[in-house]
């Protein structure tokens, strides 16, 4: 397993960009994921990135990976009220299905 760390809270104004940061310790992590959890619900996979990639863009979402610093970030463009949720980053090794999760970042979108 590995340690995955995230800041716990982020407040952002509607229409601005949100940036959620994550650091991980295991350089063997091959797959890195971002999950979204809305109140009372399970986890929804938002996007993922492989360790051989530096960036991945998917509509309003941009994932950046800095392997040297073991730093992962998720940028949400034009943040909406529906983006208010807890966001988890998670990592897994290529030979292992087990996910190691960060504590989650609670994103609050204010009008």
Partner 1 sequence: NAGVTQTPKFQVLKTGQSMTLQCAQDMNHEYMSWYRQDPGMGLRLIHYSVGAGITDQGEVPNGYNVSRSTTEDFPLRLLSAAPSQTSVYFCASCSSADRAYQPQHFGDGTRLSIL
CB-nearer residue toward partner 1: 31 or 62: 31
CB-nearer residue toward partner 1: 41 or 77: 41
Burial class of residue 7 (count of CB atoms within 10 Å of its CB; 0-12, 13-18, 19+): middle
Site string for partner 1, 35-64 (x = CB under 8 A): x----xxxxxx--x-x--------------
Please choose, from the candidates 86, 84, 89, 88, the residue with its C-alpha nearest in 3D space to the C-alpha of residue 109. Answer: 84
Beta-bridge mates of residue 23? 5, 71
Positions of E strands within 16-54: 18-24, 29-37, 43-50
* Footprint (CB under 8 A) of partner 1, residues 19-38: 31, 33, 35
C-alpha triplet 106, 88, 1: angle, nearest 5°: 140
Asked if 1 touches partner 1 (CB under 8 A), the answer is yes
CB-nearer residue toward partner 1: 31 or 60: 31
* Footprint (CB under 8 A) of partner 1, residues 61-90: 88, 90
Interface ranges with partner 1 (CB under 8 A): 1, 4, 8, 31, 33, 35, 40-45, 48, 50, 88, 90, 92, 94, 97-99, 101-104
């Amino acid at each position: 397993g590995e340690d995955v760390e995230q800041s716990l809270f982020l407040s952002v104004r509607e229409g601005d960009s949100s940036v959620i940061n994550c650091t991980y310790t295991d350089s063997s992590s091959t797959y890195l994921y971002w999950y979204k959890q809305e109140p009372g619900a399970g986890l929804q996979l938002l996007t993922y990135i492989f360790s051989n990639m530096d960036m991945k863009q998917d509509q309003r979402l941009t994932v950046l990976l800095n392997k040297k610093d073991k730093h992962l970030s998720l940028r949400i463009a034009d943040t909406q009220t529906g983006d208010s949720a807890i966001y988890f980053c998670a990592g897994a090794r290529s030979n292992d299905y087990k996910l190691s999760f960060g504590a989650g970042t609670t994103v609050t979108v204010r009008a």
